[in-house]
A and B are shown apart, each in its own frame.
Chain A
């Protein structure tokens, strides 16, 4: 078959695009996440109850990233988020507020926080509200320490959530969606499937139906939150779960919900339930 040169070029580029698509359609099939050649993290699990029959397998966002980005998370000396987790660790022992207390005054070593991140968000002690880790931290600060509440996306807050999340690294995600949390979960699910903004996009459009596909240069993941807080290379800083939610909803040309809002706490619970069984990676590295 004889083709004019331009047609051949076009055909070749179609093949190149198709080949690239075939490679990129699935998350890296063989990659294994082992941090510091020691901590083995689970990045693929069978779907939990929230996504049974919806997803064939649950994948950490780590699997969708380029080799170099994945490698940064495999060594704590290369992981840029570690500096911020260390600052949070310093803060853990720092006295603040009118009561003369630090976190350590009540909780002793930060290792006592092991497992905490896996169950977030959860109902508060009085079972009157669904709280993210940020709410629990501020409850301690204002009610026990007599200190000022931190803003949701402040550096202090993100340093502390990073340090606390790190204590659960390798532990499986497992939020409770029973009892009073059930209504919050339903609300979060409704938000997940609502097509917001002038572009009329739901979370599900990109992260359920098109996970593995490309939007321009972005390789769409399942939007799992087991890696948060995450060091986002694009932002050159640590990003909270709600901060990422704000960014996604904004990109649909919508009026976003606020970080810390009921809507985003409900969404956090629902999305966390979709990732049941994945290892907590916080603090992870993403592009």
Chain B
């Protein structure tokens, strides 16, 4: 007990410096897939504790092995990307229609916004029927990773936030 009291009694200047140092470390604040706090379908807090990188997000969105959002969504803002799908709604103007928290929730698990939607949940690791080890067709041998990392989700959200008309 005594040592705890001693810790809390440290100099205010040192405490402030420590707090500032922690805030600068986004990894320490990363939210695991099971710990994401939803408000309806929306997720207010950044999964990494920091804003994402829109340029990296554009890569995630157009890379087959990553998000591959364009497989199902048209995006006129990226006319150089060939073979855009038309399963879901076009993404242009997404930031006019949705808030940041709503967009994050849609990427993490769109089924909480649109019940029964075909859109996969990109930051979820349980509740699946016969999940596989990636695209091998085999049973997983370890804990499932989410389709996208917390950082990749935030990068996609950052890109989507640039889609204003």
B4 adjacent to chain A (CB < 8 Å): no
Binding site for A on B (CB under 8 A): 64, 68, 70-72, 74, 76-77, 79, 82-87, 90, 92, 118, 120-121, 128-140, 144, 147
Please report the C-alpha to C-alpha distance between residue A246 and residue B130 in the assembled complex, in whole angstroms.
13
A1-16 contacts to B (CB < 8 Å): 9-11, 13-14
Is there contact, CB below 8 Å, between B85 and A213? yes
A175-233 contacts to B (CB < 8 Å): 194-201, 205, 209-210, 213-217
Is there contact, CB below 8 Å, between A9 and B79? yes
A138 adjacent to chain B (CB < 8 Å): no
- Interface size, A (range): 20 to 34
16 contacts between A and B (CB under 8 A): A10-B76, A197-B130, A197-B131, A197-B132, A198-B120, A198-B144, A200-B129, A201-B118, A201-B120, A210-B118, A215-B72, A216-B70, A216-B83, A253-B131, A253-B135, A254-B128
Given A213-B87, A216-B85, A246-B137: A255 in contact with B132 (beta carbons within 8 A): yes
Is there contact, CB below 8 Å, between A216 and B68? yes
CB-CB under 8 A from A198, the residues of chain B are 120, 128, 131-132, 144, 147
A250 adjacent to chain B (CB < 8 Å): yes
CB-CB under 8 A from B129, the residues of chain A are 194-197, 200, 254
Is there contact, CB below 8 Å, between B132 and A254? yes
CB-CB under 8 A from B138, the residues of chain A are 255
Please report the C-alpha to C-alpha distance between residue A40 and residue B131 in the assembled complex, in whole angstroms.
43
CB-CB under 8 A from B133, the residues of chain A are 255
CB distance from B109 to the nearest CB of A (A): 10
CB-CB under 8 A from B86, the residues of chain A are 17, 21, 25, 213-214
CB-CB under 8 A from A42, the residues of chain B are none
Please report the C-alpha to C-alpha distance between residue A253 and residue B71 in the assembled complex, in whole angstroms.
16
A249 adjacent to chain B (CB < 8 Å): yes
Please report the C-alpha to C-alpha distance between residue A10 and residue B129 in the assembled complex, in whole angstroms.
40
A142 adjacent to chain B (CB < 8 Å): no
CB distance from B91 to the nearest CB of A (A): 12
CB-CB under 8 A from B140, the residues of chain A are 255
CB-CB under 8 A from A253, the residues of chain B are 131-132, 134-135, 147
Is there contact, CB below 8 Å, between B77 and A250? no
CB-CB under 8 A from A25, the residues of chain B are 86
A251 adjacent to chain B (CB < 8 Å): yes
Is there contact, CB below 8 Å, between B118 and A256? no
Is there contact, CB below 8 Å, between B137 and A215? no
CB distance from B136 to the nearest CB of A (A): 7
Please report the C-alpha to C-alpha distance between residue A205 and residue B117 in the assembled complex, in whole angstroms.
9
CB-CB under 8 A from A21, the residues of chain B are 74, 86
CB distance from A206 to the nearest CB of B (A): 8
Encode A236-267 as 1/0 by CB contact (under 8 A) with B.
00000000001001111111100000000000
Question: Nearest 7 A-B pairs (CB), nearest first?
Answer: A250-B137, A217-B83, A199-B120, A13-B79, A256-B137, A216-B71, A255-B139
Please report the C-alpha to C-alpha distance between residue A9 and residue B132 in the assembled complex, in whole angstroms.
42
CB distance from A156 to the nearest CB of B (A): 23
CB-CB under 8 A from A256, the residues of chain B are 132, 137
- Among B72, B76, B79, B130, the residue within 8 A (CB) of A254 is B130
Q: Which residue of A lies closest to B84 (CB)?
A: A17
CB distance from B11 to the nearest CB of A (A): 50
Q: Which residue of A lies closest to B82 (CB)?
A: A217
CB-CB under 8 A from B135, the residues of chain A are 250-251, 253
CB-CB under 8 A from A254, the residues of chain B are 128-132, 137
CB-CB under 8 A from A14, the residues of chain B are 74, 76, 90, 92
Q: Which residue of B lies closest to A249 (CB)?
A: B137
CB-CB under 8 A from B84, the residues of chain A are 17, 214, 216
CB-CB under 8 A from A255, the residues of chain B are 130-133, 137-140
- Among B87, B92, B130, B144, the residue within 8 A (CB) of A215 is B87
Is there contact, CB below 8 Å, between A17 and B74? yes
